[in-house]
């Protein structure tokens, strides 16, 4: 559906359905280290590769939960339709976020987006809610589930 361009009014027909499933994205150690540098979160479980090999049952570092969360924008834009007449969207927040399982370095993740709600907020403004599930290629249960609110704005 990512290659489609639809109107905001056409988006309503997808309420309650999966509107997109992203491609797989590898969360590697370089990405984890870069996120640690940006956020100043250098906890050993994220950045100490040798220490985790010696002490962790998984033998791997674990990505920051907030790194996985921050990748939602990339994952969303890769798999959902482009909306004509919408000039910008903003992250409005979350009703719920749960980090269900760890994302180990080198793991592939993808996200499934269910369009839960779409509400007109004003002239040229809508709020949508995605129910998001992030999964990995090596686990049966999700690594992240969230209710994500996004605001959409049309041209004046």
Q: Residue 2's pLDDT is what?
A: 60
| Average of per-residue pLDDT across 109-136 | 96
Rg (CA), the chain: 17
Chain segment 65-109, per-residue pLDDT in tens: 999 999 999 999 889 888 888 999 999 999 999 999 999 999 999
Domain with 105, as residue range(s), is: 5-154
What's the burial of 48, exposed, middle or buried (CB within 10 Å: 0-12/13-18/19+)? middle
Q: Residue 30's pLDDT is what?
A: 98
pTM of the model: 0.92
pLDDT at 52 over 80: yes
Query: The CATH number of the domain where 11 resides is what?
Result: 3.10.129.10
**Pair 145, 96: CB distance under 8 Å:** yes
Share the mean pLDDT of the chain. Answer: 94
- Which of the two residues, 116 and 82, has the higher pLDDT score? 116
| Average of per-residue pLDDT across 57-65 | 95
The number of folded domains in the chain is: 1
């Amino acid at each position: 559906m990512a290659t489609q361009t639809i109107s905001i009014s056409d988006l309503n027909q997808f309420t309650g359905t999966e509107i997109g499933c992203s491609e797989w994205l590898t969360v590697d150690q370089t990405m984890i280290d870069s996120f640690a540098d940006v956020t100043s979160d250098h906890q050993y479980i994220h950045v100490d590769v040798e220490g985790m090999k010696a002490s962790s049952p998984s033998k791997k570092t674990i990505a920051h939960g907030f790194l996985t969360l921050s990748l939602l924008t990339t994952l969303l834009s890769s798999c959902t339709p482009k909306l004509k007449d919408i000039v910008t969207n903003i992250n409005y927040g979350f009703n719920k976020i749960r980090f269900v399982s760890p994302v180990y370095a080198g793991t592939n993740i993808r996200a499934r987006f269910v369009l839960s709600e779409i509400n007109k907020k004003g002239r040229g403004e809508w709020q949508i809610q995605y129910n998001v599930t992030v999964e990995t290629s090596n686990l049966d249960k999700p690594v992240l589930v969230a209710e994500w609110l996004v605001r959409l704005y049309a041209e004046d």
